[in-house]
């Protein structure tokens, strides 16, 4: 199980931690949200890959680096 993360929401953007990974959701933001250069459709949970670039609020850009620990075989 993933540790409990608070949901972050700013300017219509939400990051959601699930057992299957980190997800991004755009809540009909004014300027849209872009994941690795592709516009995120509103109200859709989109899996965020490792080292993804998220652009939001017109010109703000963030690099999301996920440290994923693999379970031993």
User: Which pLDDT does position 59 carry in this prediction?
Assistant: 72
User: Which pLDDT does position 67 carry in this prediction?
Assistant: 61
Convert the pLDDT of each residue in 8-58 to its tens digit: 444 588 889 898 889 999 998 888 899 999 999 999 999 999 888 888 767
User: Which pLDDT does position 9 carry in this prediction?
Assistant: 47
User: Which pLDDT does position 11 carry in this prediction?
Assistant: 53
pLDDT of residue 61 exceeding 70, the answer is yes
Give every CB contact of residue 54 below 8 A, 6+ residues apart in sequence.
13, 24, 33, 34, 35, 48, 61, 62, 63, 64
């Amino acid at each position: 199980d993933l540790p409990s993360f608070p949901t972050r929401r700013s300017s219509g953007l939400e990051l959601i931690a699930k057992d299957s990974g980190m997800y991004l959701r755009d809540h009909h933001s004014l300027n849209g949200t872009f994941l690795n250069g592709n516009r995120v459709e509103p109200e859709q949970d989109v899996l965020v890959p490792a080292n993804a670039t998220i652009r939001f609020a017109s010109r703000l850009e963030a690099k999301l680096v996920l440290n994923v620990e693999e379970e031993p075989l």
